Amino acid sequence: MNAQQLVDERGDLWLALAPLWLDREPSEQDYARMVGVIEQHQMSLMDLEWMFRLELAPVMSRHQLSIASEWRKFDDYKLMQQLVRHNLRLKGWRRKSWALFSGLTTMMVRHRWVELMQRVKVARGEV
């Protein structure tokens, strides 16, 4: 998969979920937008979980840990470059390594992710 394919297939989903890593709790509007974008992609909850752990968290957690990080909003263009670069290299040992350490990279936003997944289940009529 090349960079353009990644942006076309995942870009809007990645950007929609980025507010999970901001310094404020997502608003009702944020959650509604996230659920809407997730539903457009029709991914299973398991696929969403792995996308969260492997595709997003390794990049986004670096923003949380950086002193110079932007906490109010992200530069979408710069963020997309970082996400694409990470995901193009996400093969073999890198994929396994991130899977192994995904608990560490997701722990600061896990409560928000659980809330979002609950809302997705409600939207899908699974609750």
* Tens-digit pLDDT profile for residues 78-89: 999 999 999 999
The share of the chain scoring above pLDDT 90, in percent, equals 68
Res 27 pLDDT > 60: yes
Dihedral sign of CA atoms 59, 117, 77, 73 in order: negative
Average pLDDT over residues 114-120: 98
To which residue do tokens 């936003």 refer?
109
Q: Write b or e for each residue in 68-98: b if 16 or more Cβ atoms lie within 10 A of its Cβ, otherwise e.
A: eeeeeebeeeebbebbbebbeeeeeeeeeeb
Q: Judge contact between 95 and 54, C-beta under 8 A.
A: yes
- Residue-wise pLDDT tens digits, 45-71: 999 999 999 999 999 988 765 555 555
pLDDT of residue 65: 59
Q: Tell me: pLDDT of 26 over 60.
A: yes
Q: What is the pTM of this model?
A: 0.88
Q: Which two tokens stand for residue 30?
A: 């944020």
Over range 27-48, report the average pLDDT. 96
